[in-house]
Amino acid sequence: MTLVFASNNAHKLSEVRQIMPNTHILSLEEIGFLSDIDETGSTLDENSMLKAQTVWKWLSNNSASKAKNIAIDGVFADDTGLEIDALNGAPGVYTARWYMMEDVGCQMLDVGGQMLDGAGQNRAKALRVLAGNTNRGAQFRTVITLIHMENGAPSTIQVEGVVRGRIAEEEYGNGGFGYDPVFIPEGYDKTFAELPAETKNSISHRGRALAALVKLQNL
Instruction: Return the active site residues.
Output: 79
- In angstroms, what is the C-alpha Rg of the chain? 18
User: Within 10 A of 55 (CB to CB), how many other CB atoms are there?
Assistant: 23
Which of helix, strand or coil describes residue 60? helix
**H-helix or E-strand spanning residue 14:** helix 10-19
- Euclidean distance between CA atoms 155 and 92, whole angstroms: 27
Asked whether 137 and 163 are in contact (CB, 8 A), the reply is no
Print burial letters for 62-92: b (CB count within 10 Å at least 16), e (below 16): eeeeebeeeebebbbbbbbbbbbbebeebbb
Residue 211's H or E segment, with its range, is helix 205-217
CA nearest to 159, candidates 175, 143, 173 = 143
